[in-house]
Chains A and B, each alone.
Chain A
């Protein structure tokens, strides 16, 4: 990661709205003087849809809004060096989704520079502008748009500078390949030459005209991933690979069960060990040592007694009754504003009574673990500042600025005295929003007086991270004799409100999310509850179609009006060969939906073996059709759409967290089954490139069709209608 460049460079800052002078002061402090262009944008553009952001941030971590005093009005900034390299600073982080590449493409497109001339500085709280976090499929629609605008504004400014230099009309100049050319005279100047030695601050309005996707030449193409060579040679340093001079390795004492409190501690043996530091701070007990083995020995030598949390607690067997029973008022209801996650229209009660065909089902979804292959990791280092201690932490988090605030709170220090850096990370899927590991590493480093690395074990990930929420969903649906869905009620307990409203045209409906008491720590997960809500909705619609006597695809098309949604259903069905015959004991299913700007439809074919005890199913083939607007990078998108479907197979068929008495009982990869090579069907991806539509993200929505498509296929193959996720964990379950 390169730092800010020296003096005399062009800088473009996109500044949405207020507090411009504060922003400029902060900006100048960080990157120094030079040519600064401030692009003023409406606040709405800078922080679109607060509700979406809130939902995306999810559970742990609390309020995602920045603390007072954090400059939050800058959206991104850009420097052009004398060498013509454009350095982009963004608080977004790379977790494998490929935004280091795709965001650079969007910037390069508008700035009119080759992709090689772009350098991305990401997720460093000292260098990059405030960012709420990398979640909610926001990077492409939000940050991509900002970078395009910054690039276009900088290009316009460079053209004007060249025009002034030559006393030419800006309209007669063209910008291409990092160079301004005067068509009439043929003379030209590079961006680097123009930017070098300038000292200027300028504010422009957010009325920047952007290049339409149909005319893209750098964006819209598949290009190799940035830094790919380092990924295949082991040269890339993930957080867990970072080393610092004098660094120790940490281990943390964990409770015997969730919610247990420490009642006795004897750490004398550990304290007597050579090269071992024992840290205590309230409930926190940890050790740091010269290597991991010594740290493990020291931790094992600590004698601790624990007092279990009081009262009977639900297990993974009784969780669903518990969630229904512990339904709690929503935040809106508690604040007297009503349930914000409730919606109703018409009279679903009487419409259900009048319906010619009815379906009534209860669905459940289990807690599942993100299981990022790189566990939580942090390297913390303290240093002295003139006005107090400084803390630097490298950690793989999706929310570097929130983790910085978490650290500042934990150690009661000013936010600017903490720096969080996020190396490109070994995935997260919504599971790395929080800073617990960073705080633990910093506590150990503070006591040790030396840098400390803490890497959670896989078992710690399973036991002490947070989960995708378990949930119960009740669906009642009715259709008339002609196959029009007329009535719909949908109650989701605990799983979440994302994508809870049906995309079908239903005159009479009521949908509601009911929060419950979760016995396990739960939080954000790729797609949030959209996966659960799509599963319940699409399984109910599939059953209703069969009740009506219609083909499940035709039934959906009859009840949908959104042309893009209909188009993905048709595209998936066509590629799949929806009408074709399949072998006996095989079944096919289709499902789809809309969420976060993306449209997905999935077809699946399963083979069933009912002779074996409990029944076995094997996923044979799947097709995922996806439309998220104008495609920024087709190969990256395909990788996301394929990877999302594959990750969805795990939750659909076999992933589930088991627990009893506050203990996770399958906290090992040997017991928690994730998709492996033999689980992968033949997969085909259909991407629909809508160059006339804005670009949206693809990290989440592609997961949502696979579970209900497989569920419908299982029903067709076996006559067993699955109603629980996972559907085929050690045998089929459901109702015939």
Chain B
């Protein structure tokens, strides 16, 4: 079945089984591999993309649902060669280790801030609960979202995970 897709502002016509997942079509048909497979069961958020401006887990979204609606993936988040503020903040806070979860985290965070530009820490935690970081960079991710929102990193419980370095000699 031919399906008309609009991904990152570009139109594509793909001839695929309409029940195939959006994730698979993005990766295998359109070569957009920045959206990652993590579980295939809507449990980890590694495949988060925006569909019609809302975050969805592409692994459980049939490609037919995307017909005629704008899709934004991590590859399309930066505009005019400038990183999206959430991407910039993830870099500045170095809010990743292996970074396999990072595209999904950034897409989820960008959607969260579009909906709620000045979230509390509790709202950030609630909004990001569906995204798994296995390396344990959660406090940095919360700090990055606060930074992207223009909020200071002081006061937030999770964002307090800053370190002190003591130089010590016997």
Interface residues of A in 539-591 (CB under 8 A from B): 563, 567, 571, 575
Which residues of chain A in 663-695 are interfacial with respect to chain B, using CB atoms and an 8 Å cutoff? 668-670, 674-678, 680, 682-692
Known: A231-B96, A427-B100, A646-B136. A638 touches B163 (CB 8 A): yes
Contact bitstring B147-159, A, C-beta under 8 A = 1, else 0: 0000000000110
Residues on B with C-beta less than 8 A from A235 are 34, 75
Asked if B134 contacts A692 (CB within 8 A), the reply is: no
- In the complex, A552 Cα to B102 Cα: how many Å? 40
Q: Say which residue of B17, B73, B128, B138 sits within 8 Å of A646 (CB atoms).
A: B138
* A374 CB within 8 Å of chain B: yes
Within B38-65, the residues touching A (CB, 8 Å) are 38-41, 43-44, 46
How many angstroms between the C-alpha atoms of A233 and B84 in the bound complex?
A: 9
Give the contacting residue for A96; candidates B31, B46, B99, B161; CB below 8 A. Answer: B99
Most chain A CB within 10 A, of B27, B162, B163, is at B163
User: In the bound complex, do residue A691 and residue B37 qualify as a contact, i.e. CB atoms below 8 Å apart?
Assistant: no
CB distance from A459 to the nearest CB of B (A): 8
Determine if B111 is an interface residue (Cβ-Cβ < 8 Å): no
Interface of B, helix, strand, loop or mixed by DSSP = loop
Q: Which of B36, B83, B91, B132 contacts A238 (CB 8 A)?
A: B36
Asked if A232 contacts B106 (CB within 8 A), the reply is yes
Most interface-central of A231, A237, A424, A691 (chain B CB within 10 A): A231
Asked if B136 and A645 make an inter-chain contact with CB atoms under 8 angstroms apart, the answer reads: yes
Mask: chain A, 268-311; 1 = CB below 8 Å from B; 0 = not:
00000000000000000000000111000000000000000000
Most buried by A among B77, B129, B162, B168: B168
B160 CB-CB contact with A under 8 Å: yes
Of A291, A643, A677, A682, which contacts B125 at CB under 8 A? A677
In the bound complex, what is the Cα–Cα distance between A371 and B43 (angstroms)? 13
Q: Which residue of A lies closest to B24 (CB)?
A: A292
Contact: B138 with A692, CB < 8 Å?
Answer: no
Total interface residues on B, CB under 8 Å, equals 70
A237 CB contacts on chain B under 8 angstroms: 33
Query: Is B36 within 8 A of A455, CB to CB?
Result: no
Contact size range, A: 35 or more
Establish whether residues B43 and A669, one from each chain, have CB atoms under 8 Å apart when the complex forms: yes
Known: A97-B97, A643-B137. A293 touches B162 (CB 8 A): no
Please determine whether B163 and A684 come into contact, CB atoms closer than 8 angstroms: yes
Question: Which of B17, B34, B83 gathers most chain A CB within 10 Å?
Answer: B34
When distances are taken between beta carbons in the complex, the residues of chain A under 8 Å from B142 are 677
Answer yes or no: B101 CB below 8 A from chain A CBs. Answer: yes
Contact B91 A228 (CB under 8 A): yes
Whole-angstrom distance between the alpha carbons of A627 and B169 in the complex? 12
Query: In the complex, A685 Cα to B97 Cα: how many Å?
Result: 17
Question: Which residues on the B side are within 8 Å of A685 (C-beta)?
Answer: 161-164
A373-B101, A458-B39, A642-B161 known; A680 vs B24 contact (CB < 8 Å): no
**Given contact pairs A232-B83, A682-B158, A425 touches B98 in the complex (Cβ within 8 A):** yes
Find out whether the CB atom of A686 lies under 8 angstroms from the CB atom of B91: no
Q: Which of A234, A647, A675 makes the CB contact (< 8 A) with B34?
A: A234
Return B88 CB to nearest CB of chain A, in Å.
8
In the assembled complex, how far is the CB of residue B99 from the closest CB belonging to chain A, in whole angstroms?
4
Question: A647 CA to B140 CA in the complex, in Å?
Answer: 14
CB-based contact A426/B41 at 8 Å: no
Q: Could you say which of B37, B74, B135, B139 contacts A427, with CB atoms under 8 Å apart? A: B135
Q: Provide the residues of chain A in CB contact with B83, threshold 8 Å.
A: 229, 232-233
Q: How far is the CB of B60 from chain A (nearest CB, A)?
A: 12
Query: A373–B132 contact, CB under 8 A?
Result: yes
- A136 CB-CB contact with B under 8 Å: no
Contact assessment for A674 and B97 in the assembled complex, using a CB-CB cutoff below 8 Å: no
A680 to B139, CA, bound (A): 8
Chain A CB within 8 A of B166 CB = yes
Complex: chain B residue closest to A638, CB-CB: B163
Digitize B106-148: 1 where CB-to-A-CB distance is under 8 Å, 0 elsewhere.
Answer: 1000000000000000001110110111111111111000000
CB–CB A689/B166 < 8 A:
yes
- A373 contacts B166, C-beta separation under 8 Å: no
**Known A668-B39, A669-B39, A682-B161; contact A426-B166, beta-carbon cutoff 8 A:** no
Contact of A675 among B27, B99, B138, B164 (CB under 8 A): B138
Interface centre among A458, A459, A641 (most CB of B within 10 A): A458
Among A228, A455, A668, A687, the residue within 8 A (CB) of B94 is: A228
B136 A231 Cβ-Cβ under 8 A: no
* B170, A563: Cβ atoms closer than 8 Å: yes
How would residues 172 to 209 of chain A score, 1 for a CB under 8 Å from any chain B CB and 0 otherwise?
00000000000000000000000000000000000000
Q: How far is the CA of A281 from the CA of B97 in the complex (A)?
A: 38
A224: CB under 8 A from chain B? yes
Contacts of B75 in A (CB 8 A): 233-235
Give the docked Cα–Cα distance between A638 and B143 (Å).
14
User: Hey, which chain A residues are within 8 Å of B169, CB to CB?
Assistant: 690-692
A98 at the interface (CB under 8 A from B): yes
Cβ-closest chain B residue relative to A458: B39
Complex contacts, A455 vs chain B, CB 8 Å? 37
Question: Known contacts A228-B91, A677-B125, A692-B169; is A373 also within 8 Å of B157 by CB?
Answer: no
In the complex, chain A residues whose CB is within 8 Å of the CB of B96: 96, 225, 228, 231-232
The answer to the question of B1 belonging to the interface, with a C-beta cut-off of 8 Å to chain A, is no
Closest-CB distance, A450 to chain B (whole angstroms): 15
- A363 at the B interface (CB under 8 A): no
Residue of B whose beta carbon sits closest to that of A703: B136
**Contact across chains for A231 and B161 when beta carbons are under 8 A apart:** no
> Is the Cβ of B134 less than 8 Å from the Cβ of A231?
no
**Smallest CB separation, A582 vs chain B (Å):** 16
Report Cα–Cα, A687/B101, bound state, in Å: 27
Cβ–Cβ < 8 Å partners of A383 in chain B? none
Contact in complex: A458, B41 (CB < 8 Å): yes
CB distance from A225 to the nearest CB of B (A): 6
Known: A458-B41, A639-B94, A677-B128. A373 touches B100 (CB 8 A): yes
Q: Is A635 on the interface with B (CB-CB < 8 A)?
A: yes
Is residue B3 contacting chain A, with contact meaning CB distance below 8 A?
Answer: no
Q: A234-B75, A689-B167 are in contact. Are A684 and B128 (CB under 8 A)?
A: no
A517 at the interface (CB under 8 A from B): no
What are the residues of chain B within 8 A of A513 when measuring CB–CB?
none
With A and B bound together, what is the CA distance between A639 and B143 in angstroms? 13
Q: Do A292 and B28 contact each other (CB < 8 Å), given the known contacts A234-B34, A676-B132, A687-B165? A: yes
- Cβ contacts under 8 Å, A229 to chain B: 83, 91
Residues A669 and B41 in contact, CB atoms below 8 Å apart: yes
Interface pair B99/A231, CB less than 8 Å apart = yes
Within the complex, the shortest CB–CB distance from A371 to chain B, in Å, comes to 6
Chain A hits for B158, CB < 8 A: 677, 680, 682-683
Closest A-B pairs by Cβ, 8 of them:
A234-B34, A96-B98, A646-B136, A426-B100, A643-B136, A96-B97, A685-B163, A241-B33
The residues of A with any CB-CB pair to B shorter than 8 Å are 95-98, 224-225, 228-229, 231-238, 240-241, 243, 249, 291-293, 371-375, 424-427, 429, 455, 457-459, 563, 567, 571, 575, 627, 631, 634-635, 638-647, 668-670, 674-678, 680, 682-692
Q: What would be 25 A-B contacts, judged by CB atoms less than 8 Å apart?
A: A96-B135, A225-B96, A231-B102, A232-B90, A233-B83, A237-B33, A238-B100, A291-B20, A293-B24, A371-B134, A373-B44, A373-B46, A373-B100, A374-B100, A642-B161, A643-B137, A646-B137, A677-B128, A678-B126, A680-B138, A683-B139, A686-B164, A687-B166, A688-B166, A689-B165
B residues apposed to A, CB below 8 Å: 16-17, 20, 24, 27-29, 31-41, 43-44, 46, 73-75, 77-78, 83, 87, 90-91, 94, 96-103, 106, 124-126, 128-129, 131-142, 157-158, 160-170
20 more A-B residue pairs beyond the given contacts A459-B40, A675-B136, with a C-beta to C-beta distance below 8 A: A96-B96, A225-B94, A228-B91, A232-B99, A232-B103, A233-B74, A240-B36, A374-B38, A374-B100, A455-B37, A458-B38, A642-B137, A642-B161, A643-B137, A647-B136, A676-B132, A676-B138, A682-B157, A688-B166, A689-B167
